[in-house]
Amino acid sequence: MQRIIGGGVAAVAAIAICVGAAAAVDGPMGFEPIPGSAYGQGSSTWSEPFVVPDGFEQTLVADETTLNIYGGNTDDLTDMNTVNETGIRAGRYLYRTHELGSNGSVSVVDLETAQAKVIAQNPGWRRLDGLHWTPWGTVLFAEESPGGRLFEMFLDPADPTTAVRVVARPEVGIVRHEGIGALGNGTVFVVDELNGGSIYKFVPRRRGDLSDGQLYALKLTGLSDAEQAWDDDTFTDKVGDFEWVALDMAQVVVDADVASNAVHATEFGRPEDVQLIGNTLYASNTTEDRVIAIDLSHETVSTFVLPGLNVPVEDQDAEVTGLSGPDNLAQGPDGRLWIVEDNDFSDIWVADKDNDQDGAADGVHLFASLKDTGAEGTGIYFGRDPKTLLVNIQHPDKVLADGTWKISRR
């Protein structure tokens, strides 16, 4: 992959040298960055899956020894996390999607008792991935596959571990879903996880009713229609002012990618996750090794994290740690953006805020690295405890180890 990075080789080398000597990160999850990825520590017999900073402990929440949904050694492919952020016993129940090619499921874990069960399952659900607790008290989850659908799960008001019904929401777009975000006013953001995928906004006519509304796609105003198309050589040019362009809803419910192509919406390199922090929507574009910041108030896009800009460039052959394959995102307890890689070794990074207002994170710090080279970390998420990060391990080499861990500051 060819990347367009300013600063030249000397600047990149200087950044790489500094990764283990980075300044401490403050806040509830304050830490001294680890020196580098888990090079030389790969193992499928671990008792603690991650290399983490001093002062942190790792605790199993639930894996396939607790709940083996698909039996035998078939990976449960535990993917994304959320908790019941509002309502009765808020914060107690952890919901997880499972990314199987068929018979997809959503599980729930009681974080107080460690009891786990399947809350929803359907033979027709494929590669369940994105997951989000809405401000109106439902759970959104979606399929990361061609023709992917977004679903809304309604829970028993007296028992958040029981699903009352699950409804498909094609009006939010038929795409290869992963990241989902929602505002208090009912607006929902989704992405199409594709080289050439777009970023979407759904505005309902009534808050909390996703059956009726308008889907829009992001389009940068400073590019020609031809320049909006995905190009591995020019993705860093995709910054600046944008507008939300309304899509043909009759086409959206069939294939939202076709609808966005019809208006020449901006295409990105595998936008996989989104995270709302204040008035900014962050999106991880995995093929680009880039995280973008979408300012919803001023309608501008900037490059927030990029190897060679504010984080090292990875060179695995030389065992040089850097960002590669940014995937899932999370809002930290102090408003920093957390990033986990879809990569070997799968690293977790923390991006500082953009205090100097240049559009990019002021610094990016290495928090953890997964030792199991067959696995990836997924679904990073902070619940109600500001000193605990929840993270899933998916398809590890270790047997019956698909599951969820928490990394807590002592």
Asked, for residue 1, whether it belongs to a domain, the answer is no
Asked, for residue 356, whether it belongs to a domain, the answer is yes
Q: How many residues does the chain have?
A: 410
Any idea what the CATH number is for the domain that residue 292 is in?
2.120.10.30
Q: How many structural domains comprise the chain?
A: 1
Asked, for residue 2, whether it belongs to a domain, the answer is no
What are the distances in angstroms from CA 87 to CA 90, 93, 385? 5, 11, 17
Q: Which of 171, 199, 174 is nearest to 186 (CA)?
A: 171
- What contacts 24+ positions apart, CB below 8 Å, involve 280-284? 281/181, 281/189, 281/199, 282/329, 282/337, 283/179, 283/191, 283/199, 284/179, 284/326, 284/327, 284/328, 284/329, 284/339
The domain of 59 spans 8-409
Report pTM.
0.94
Asked, for residue 278, whether it belongs to a domain, the answer is yes
pLDDT tens for the chain, residues 1 to 410: 223 333 333 333 333 334 544 679 999 999 999 999 999 999 999 999 999 999 999 999 999 999 999 999 899 999 999 999 999 999 999 999 999 999 999 999 999 999 999 999 999 999 999 999 999 999 999 999 999 999 999 999 999 999 999 999 999 999 999 999 999 999 999 999 999 999 999 999 999 999 999 999 999 999 999 999 999 999 999 999 999 999 999 999 999 999 999 999 999 999 999 999 999 999 999 999 999 999 999 999 999 999 999 999 999 999 999 999 999 999 999 999 999 999 999 999 999 999 999 999 999 999 999 999 999 999 999 999 999 999 999 999 999 999 999 999 99
Asked, for residue 12, whether it belongs to a domain, the answer is yes
Q: Which of 401, 342, 310 is nearest to 46 (CA)?
A: 401
